Amino acid sequence: GAVVSQHPSWVICKSGTSVKIECRSLDFQATTMFWYRQFPKQSLMLMATSNEGSKATYEQGVEKDKFLINHASLTLSTLTVTSAHPEDSSFYICSARRARSPYEQYFGPGTRLTVT
């Protein structure tokens, strides 16, 4: 149990367009979801924390108007990269946490975004 999926697994888009990435908890209800960004051979950097039904909390330096996060249900969170630029190219990973396991996060497989 505790499977998290992401869609798409990879996406290529043109500069200036917007891209939406979905994160789903398949077999549990996720009260909190996290969005990370990972550059090649680097660690995961937390971008934002989202709780179902409320606004996301963004980490310092992350533009909330550029990275729109919606957590409308207990099984789905979306990250929309608006007006994407080549520097937004990265690996985006989500994780989900359930109410009864506050310490454990379950990670999605990640989404590779390439902006041309």
Q: What residue ranges bind other proteins (CB under 8 A)? A: 4, 32, 34, 42-44, 46, 49, 93, 95, 97, 102-105, 107-110
Of residues 13 and 44, the one with the C-beta less far from other proteins:
44
Min CB(58)–other proteins separation in Å: 12
Of residues 84 and 108, the one with the C-beta less far from other proteins:
108
Min CB(49)–other proteins separation in Å: 6
Of residues 27 and 104, the one with the C-beta less far from other proteins:
104
* Nearest alpha-carbon partner for 32 in 10, 4, 9, 6: 4
Which tokens in the block code for residue 98?
Answer: 């359930």
Min CB(109)–other proteins separation in Å: 5
Min CB(14)–other proteins separation in Å: 27
Inter-CA distances, 75 with 51, 72, 104, 107, Å: 11, 8, 16, 13
Rounded distance between C-alpha atoms, residue 108 and residue 3, angstroms: 8
Residue labelled with tokens 């996290």: 34
Of residues 47 and 84, the one with the C-beta less far from other proteins:
47
Query: How many Cβ atoms from other residues are within 10 Å of residue 25's Cβ?
Result: 25
